[in-house]
């Protein structure tokens, strides 16, 4: 097989990159280790920044998102049992976020690529990536029991934190920055009507909780728990009891219960690799960075990576300009560290950490209250929430 760009991973970064390259007349092949049904059913966060939704619409990928996505002009912050609304649209000159399941977005992208005649190979197990220092990298993989090769000009590693792409970086060619947090999230998806049309964040004394949604009849919720917690200790009755206790506030709204169709525990960490490139290999999305889920920035950071890389490849294939490719990592990392900064801040603000002193807890409460009473604080927070300004500047095609 031969392609100008070989893309490893059919997640949001890989599929979007392939689509943007197609729009620029650049040929790519996407290799994905999992099956198509598995990829399309993975439950992931689904909060899209303003810049992300604008890019998807410009790229012709937003028709179903616009029709079915839930536009949020604000969110609810519950403090001391009282709800306070943060008006994002008012604080950011009309910008909003959209809740649209990441698995639904993946379905849209896969269909768009197949409709356009793109090459997507599922159940492709990557075994090696050779010649990254040369002019023709080779991706070796197995598919349906056959050993195959994909020769390309460039390789985009979009295969997640545990993928092979980052493992192919030579020792000493990169640095890793990590931060582990002493908390985890128990997440559920339930067939239950939503009790709020906007997200509800509750930094409760028993632990943080978050109410989200995937549709008016499909609720998504999270509970702070210990990193070593086991799902067996969380039967459905206990989950609902804790959600009622932590989320419900003095306004009288009652959380609606329903069958829980998915539950999982996610540890919380930050991770960044620098640089995000080596030779002819470029890392994007979770292969290069992980953010805490508190601010729902992971998908959006992956989208920004794909946008930057597609523009760099377009400059090279269109006019022979290699400068943007050379600066890919530098350009992406500006956004990545901004996303890390905001995600870490939200994690620190919202969670109850056992090791905090009484003084530190009061400082934490004070900062949360400043989001309500101090408009300057609210504006800065809201702008990062709907999309860090630098990220928006690189997204237009």
Give me the active site residues, please: 72, 201, 293, 297, 385
Element (H, E) at 251: none
| Contacts by residues 118-121 (CB-CB < 8 Å, ≥ 24 positions apart) | 118/18, 118/19, 118/22, 118/28, 118/30, 119/3, 119/28, 119/29, 119/30, 120/10, 120/18, 120/29, 120/30, 120/32, 120/36, 121/29, 121/30, 121/31, 121/32
For residue 269, CA distances in Å to 181, 183, 340 come to 6, 9, 10
Number of other CB atoms surrounding residue 147 within 10 Å: 9
Element (H, E) at 195: none
For residue 203, CA distances in Å to 79, 154, 169 come to 7, 45, 40
* Alpha carbon distance 117, 124 (integer Å): 19
**Token pair 């994905």 is at which residue?**
32
Copy the structure tokens of residue 216.
């008016």
DSSP reduced 3-state for 137: coil
Strands (E) in 233-311, as ranges, are 260-274, 277-278, 281-283, 289-290
* Alpha carbon distance 176, 201 (integer Å): 31
Copy the structure tokens of residue 235.
């039967």
């Amino acid at each position: 097989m031969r392609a100008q760009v070989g893309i490893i991973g059919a997640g949001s970064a890989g599929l979007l990159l392939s689509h943007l390259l197609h729009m620029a007349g650049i040929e790519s092949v996407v290799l994905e280790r999992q099956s198509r049904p598995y990829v399309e059913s993975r439950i992931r966060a689904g909060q899209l920044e303003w810049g992300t939704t604008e890019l998807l619409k410009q790229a012709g990928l937003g028709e179903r998102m616009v029709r079915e996505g839930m536009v949020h002009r604000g969110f609810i912050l519950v403090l001391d049992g009282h709800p306070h609304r943060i008006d994002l649209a008012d604080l950011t000159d009309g910008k909003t976020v959209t809740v649209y399941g990441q698995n639904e977005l993946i379905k849209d992208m896969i269909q768009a690529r197949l409709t356009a005649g793109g090459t997507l190979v599922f159940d492709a197990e990557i075994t090696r990536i050779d010649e990254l220092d040369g002019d023709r990298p080779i991706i070796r993989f197995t598919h349906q029991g056959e050993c195959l090769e994909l020769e390309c000009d460039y390789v985009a590693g979009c295969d997640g934190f545990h993928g092979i792409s980052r493992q192919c970086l030579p020792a000493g060619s990169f640095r890793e920055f990590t931060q582990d947090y002493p908390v985890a999230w128990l997440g559920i998806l339930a067939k239950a009507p939503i009790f709020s049309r906007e997200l509800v964040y509750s930094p409760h004394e028993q632990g943080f909780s978050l109410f989200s949604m995937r549709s008016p009849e499909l609720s998504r919720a999270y509970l702070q728990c210990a990193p070593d917690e086991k799902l067996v200790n969380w039967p459905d009755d206990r989950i609902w009891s804790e959600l009622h206790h932590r989320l419900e506030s003095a306004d009288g709204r009652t959380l609606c219960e329903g069958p829980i169709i998915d539950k999982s525990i996610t540890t919380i960490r930050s991770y960044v690799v620098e640089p995000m490139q080596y030779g002819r290999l470029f890392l994007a999305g979770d292969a290069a960075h992980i953010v805490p889920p508190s601010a729902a920035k992971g998908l959006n950071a992956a989208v920004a990576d794909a946008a930057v890389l597609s523009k760099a490849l377009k400059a090279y294939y269109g006019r022979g300009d290699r400068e943007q490719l050379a600066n890919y990592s530098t350009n992406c990392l500006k956004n990545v560290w901004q996303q890390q900064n905001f995600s870490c801040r939200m994690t620190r603000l919202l969670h109850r950490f056992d090791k905090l002193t009484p003084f530190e807890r009061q400082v934490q409460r004070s900062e949360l209250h400043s989001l309500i009473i101090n408009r300057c604080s609210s504006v800065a927070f809201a702008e990062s929430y709907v999309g860090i300004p630098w990220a928006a500047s690189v997204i237009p095609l």
